[in-house]
Amino acid sequence: MKVAFVSNYLQHHQIPVCEALVQRLGDGFHFIQSQKPPEEYLKNGYDLHENEPYQINSYQSEAAYQKAFDVCMESDVLIHTYFTEQVVKERLRQGKLTFRYSERILKKGLLRALDPRIVRFVYSQHTQYRDQNLHLLCASAYMAGDMKLFHAYPGKVWKWGYFPPAVPYSWEDLAAKKKKHVPRLLWTGRFLKLKHPDDALVTAARLREAGFVFTMEMVGGGPQEKLLRALCSRLRLDDIVTFPGLLSHEKVREHMEEADIFLFTSDYQEGWGAVVNEAMNSGCALVASHAAGSVPFLIQQGKNGLIYKSGDADELFRQTARLLSDSQLTQSLGRAALETATGEWSASRAAEQFLRLSEALLRGETPDIPTGPCSPAPYVGQSKIYRMCMKGTM
């Protein structure tokens, strides 16, 4: 089988899946980078990936563009996120298996489904091909529900996501690091409104008032940093909350390794949230907002983490207090999170199940993948996903 994956540029959370596909397909896999990574992307600490052996950089020359186009057309399966639409149209005209790969369309609000510009865009990219051999890899638990509103992809939506590098930790090594100090809470990311870092600080103040002993780190930087530092002082948390600043990916992972509890407070505008994968891989017990795209896929309530309803400050406090009150539960969830990140939701498993899905579809069969990447994504509206998370039916 030949598989091509085309996107704007090769990101660190795509490389593990690409490498896993190379292990299985060898020269039968290519990644096509259609744009040079922007300077802002590089300034944020990401590497410039232009020379992976399986990579074609279509922007470098006319010859490279033509080679990329030809590889896309010759492949048995194409994963398409960002390249010329002519590739998709021509492949579908020939009946070739093609996948879109996308975060949710309506993460800025369901009312956007009424915006004529959005309607036209979704029709041109998705709905007009509803009866053709075009499928959707959902990099959000909300994407299938969004597409249902536009009558796209009937029976052709599959769970997917992002798969950052997974470190092969042993639970015993992680547990030893986490036992060296009083319970440690961690929040990390860009200090943006959509990520609600202030919710973590308010929760910390309530936990301290309730008598819990802990420390918390707020790792990151961004537009809200001054406001957050002022809020921290106003809540009198300066002695237990620290702001280490913007750190490299390696340093962030070191902080995750030592953290007991990871707070993830993003709202619906968080397309996926790769820090969830990374915190789970680091053996953290997560308390996570249900609204982010990754959470309903990755976390099973009470089994490998705790989910709270986005915006519900009381539930965020209760779930975090529950972990601080029960160290055995914290360790149990952290260990299960590690197993999820290195097992069912690893890049290796994603590559394996993607090839199983593709092989079944190429044979005209119904794939039998009940859970994890490439299992059927439920066509569920935004308002119902929290209840499904609580019932464990996502």
Domains and CATH numbers, the chain: 3-164+345-380 (3.40.50.2000), 171-342 (3.40.50.2000)
* 233: amino acid identity, one letter: S
DSSP per-residue codes, 150-178: TT--TT-EEE----PPPP---HHHHHHHH
- The residues with which 55 forms a beta bridge, in sequence order, are 31
Sign of the C-alpha dihedral computed for residues 47, 51, 54 and 56 taken in this order: positive
- The residues with which 184 forms a beta bridge, in sequence order, are 215
- The residues with which 280 forms a beta bridge, in sequence order, are none
pLDDT score for 139? 97
- 231 three-state secondary structure: helix
Q: Which two tokens stand for residue 279?
A: 């915190």
pLDDT score for 45? 60
- 281 three-state secondary structure: helix
pLDDT score for 42? 65
Helices (H), 266-362: 274-281, 295-298, 313-325, 327-342, 347-362
pLDDT score for 393? 85
Rounded CA separation 70/287 (Å): 46
Instruction: Give pLDDT tens digits for 50-96.
Output: 788 999 999 999 999 999 999 999 999 999 998 989 999 999 999 99
pLDDT along the chain (394 residues), means of 10: 94 92 98 85 67 92 96 98 94 98 95 96 97 98 97 97 94 94 96 98 98 98 97 98 94 97 98 97 98 98 98 98 98 98 97 98 95 96 96 88
Q: Which two tokens stand for residue 321?
A: 């207090």
Rounded CA separation 38/134 (Å): 30
pLDDT score for 249? 87
pLDDT score for 39? 74
- 179 three-state secondary structure: coil
pTM of the model: 0.95
pLDDT score for 46? 64
Instruction: Give pLDDT tens digits for 95-104.
Output: 999 999 999 9
Rounded CA separation 18/135 (Å): 19
